[in-house]
Amino acid sequence: MEYTVQKLSKLTGISTRTIRYYDEIEILKPARINSSGYRIYGQKEVNRLQQILFYKELGVDLDSIKKILLSPSFDNSNALKEHREKLLAKRQQLDILIANVDKTIASTEGSIIMSDKEKFEGFKQNMIDKNEKKYGKEIRSKYGDNTVNESNKKFKNMSKEQYEELEQLGTKVIDTLKEAFATNDPSSELAQKAADLHRQWLTYSWSEYSKEAHAGLAQMYVDDERFTAYYDKYQPGLSAFLRDAIFIYTGMK
């Protein structure tokens, strides 16, 4: 079976403009161009488009999808198995949130009493799942499964009050860090206050604190572009400044 851009668009629900764009960025090239100049897509390209849509559904950006699909080591069968596992995890999270909504409705109508802990269970699990998806491989490699699992367990068991304290402390870390950045001195009183606030913020989820682990995480903020992007979105260079402040704070410089 072969498809023109129009037919492929009708089959998949993807706009013709998007299909043409995928060709332009070389993530989905047509099998051939016919004598009339139309792009023609075959079964291989249909399967490729399915893979693209799977990755997009899982939140992977196009640049990353392109690198994955064009990698010489890419295996379609293994990729499908990975998609299935991730989609099952996503379904489990949706089931948790749906159950949470159902309980909230019942609680609002007075048929059950819902504890504060129950109200936030779904959202906390969602945060854990997102962090696992984005950083899990690196964090587990660096600190081990037991440490990460204990940290997730501690986070899930937080009370409503503790969760709110964590949120407020996270905001305070950023505000203090931005103010300290203006001094251009990671050893300044403000910068060291930011480092200490960061330590306090970590202890809400870490099972135990160590200066070595704190310094190691700070270095990861600079080495891994995903971590860097989180802090540098507030101020370019903020990740490196925080690392330097933490190095001084922990004495690991």
Give the helix/strand (H/E) hosting 203: none
Q: Which residues of the chain have pLDDT under 50?
A: none
- At residue 73, the pLDDT reads 86
What is the spatial distance between Cα 191 and Cα 179, in angstroms, rounded to a whole number? Answer: 8
The string of DSSP codes covering 24-80 is HTTSS--SEE-TTS-EEB-HHHHHHHHHHHHHHHTT--HHHHHHHHHSTT--HHHHH
- At residue 77, the pLDDT reads 81
- At residue 110, the pLDDT reads 62
pTM beyond cutoff 0.75:
no
- At residue 10, the pLDDT reads 93
pLDDT in tens, 190-226: 999 999 999 999 888 787 888 998 998 899 889 888 7
